[in-house]
Structure 1
């Protein structure tokens, strides 16, 4: 799943959560995704809803898109596993140590990732990995 459509990405998360609920085996990526979903009980019913593939979540409605949130979590886990951008793992480890809670630290990183992506889209420039890592470091500061 290197360039999934919106529906494919959503279906992946729906499917891994169904596998977890039904105690079915999955791939290592399935397990990672299901573990992330498990950390977000506020999304469980949404992932089980009939309209999960078609529903829209907009900031104007004051709602967080659960699929975007979980996808960003997956991206961060991949970044940490390969230390890309360079320095993200060390910055995260410092942040996690200071926060005392891995999930809370991941949410801090998620904010930095979201900001970096927003800036890249707005400026129509490539994402700035150095600014991203610096943001994580500031949160750990």
Structure 2
């Protein structure tokens, strides 16, 4: 299993942003990341300087949202939808996207993903994919 460090993730998004700005060829994963970067122009400042990105503090106490976490969640959700894992996420997402649009649907799924991860960490149990899908369906 691929387990990138926080710095690896930040470098990936910064390099993708740099390549996108320079109109360079992107890997398939970078192309997906680019699509989400483009939809979040408010993150441009955080992505343009890799050294600043590596040093940035996005703790709860700092009061800033973490653009790298946000973009990573978009990537995770896109991958989940593409392989329909957990089973049913593709259909639930598509129903939600038809109602509110793809980007807003991703943000709603993101809320459910966060809830599932939080519940798993709190209980010490594995993530509950069925509860995750049900959370998405309730938003349809």
TM range (shorter): over 0.9
1:62 alignment partner in structure 2: 63
2:7 alignment partner in structure 1: 7
| Structure 1 runs not aligned, ≥5 long | none
Greater Cα offset, 86-95 or 119-128: 119-128
Matches for 1:17-96 after TM superposition, within 5 Å? 17-49=17-49, 50-96=51-97
1:62 Cα deviation from its structure 2 partner: 2.7
Cα distance in 2 for partners of 1:27, 1:60 equals 35
TM-score (norm 2): 0.95
Cα distance in 2 for partners of 1:60, 1:5 equals 21
Taking only aligned residues, the RMSD between alpha carbons, in angstroms, comes to 1.2
1:51 Cα deviation from its structure 2 partner: 1.0
Cα distance in 1 for partners of 2:123, 2:57 equals 25
TM-score (norm 1): 0.94
Aligned residues: 139
